[in-house]
Amino acid sequence: MTQSKVRDTDVIAEAPQTEAAQAPRKKRKYKKGEAITAYVCLLPSFVLMMLFITVPLIISAYFSLFDVNYYLGNVFVWFDNYHKILAGSISAEFYRSILVGVEYIAIIVPLQLVLSFLIANLIVKINPKFSAVIKVCIYLPCLISGIVVGAIFSFLYNYDGGLFNSVLQMFGLSKVNWTGEPGWAVFSVCIAAVWNGLGYTTLIMLGGLHDIPSDYYEAAKLDGANWWQQTVYITLPCLKNIGMYLLISLVVSSFQLYEIALVIVGSGAMHATEGPIYYLYYQFNYSKNMGEVYAASLVVAVVLTALSSVIFRLTSSEKSLD
């Protein structure tokens, strides 16, 4: 009897604590001064977003419904510009540019993520003095614009006298037309793009590695886990949110790649390197109907939004409690 009474009292004592733990937390009420400070801090970003994103988007959506001609005036054509892009006379060129953007994503994103992850792991394990030098050297290409990167690699890819072909000839191999053949041209542009952005992704990955508690690895070593097991079960799960951020940013930047392709290849290689932004650039300079350019830019924006949404859905990443 006494034991049952004790158990009953324990259950009664624990019940309020359990209910209190499961009860939803009350939202914090911010003071008026804190709210004003937050709005003031957000105001510049909001104004810039309105000026450079929202307003141009509205203007593009408006003019995409017109046959825009600066000499003869604008004619309202409803959705005829979208029909030309998606199923009309210029749809083949537009779809080809979309496929080129997908090719850039398929090559640049996995290559840059894997290289940045390996280099970041190397930097973590070497002497801090040498790691500082490596971080500076890796990040330097990020400070160079895409036009300059394209000019540098144009010299390297030169068919007669370029560094890459000179190295191939030293080993008795035949020269390669890096910028003339469609397959090699896409690969050449992707290599230049990876070199240009590798430092940024590496430093982001390095910051994520430093945030992982060392206790996790020490406990894994005590359990006999090797490097591969530590990477699969500790490092990669802890880098999930950072990996998702890098994945989305790389997908967007790769899909929008055009400066490097413009300088290295231009209109050569059977238009194999002309991505969506390159297509918009060309149409902006040579199209007689600017309404088609506005409509194409909105379709590209929709494609990028859809890609980002798919990535969010597939990864379904959540913020860590830390």
Interatomic CA distance for residues 311 and 304, integer angstroms: 11
Distance of CA 271 to the CA centre of its chain: 24
Interatomic CA distance for residues 257 and 304, integer angstroms: 13
Given a cut of 70, whether residue 16 has pLDDT beyond it is no
Q: For residue 32, what pLDDT is reported?
A: 67
* Whole-structure pTM value: 0.81
Q: What is the pLDDT of residues 104-159, one digit of tens each?
A: 999 999 999 999 999 999 998 888 788 888 888 999 999 999 999 999 999 999 98
Task: Band the pLDDT of 4: cuts 50, 70, 90.
Answer: very low
- In this structure, what DSSP letter does residue 273 have? T
Interatomic CA distance for residues 83 and 89, integer angstroms: 9
Give the position of tokens 């090559």.
107
For 80-315, CATH gives: 1.10.3720.10
Q: Which amino acid is at 263?
A: V
Could you tell me the residue ranges of all domains in the chain? 80-315
Interatomic CA distance for residues 279 and 262, integer angstroms: 11
Residue 66, strand partner residues: 76
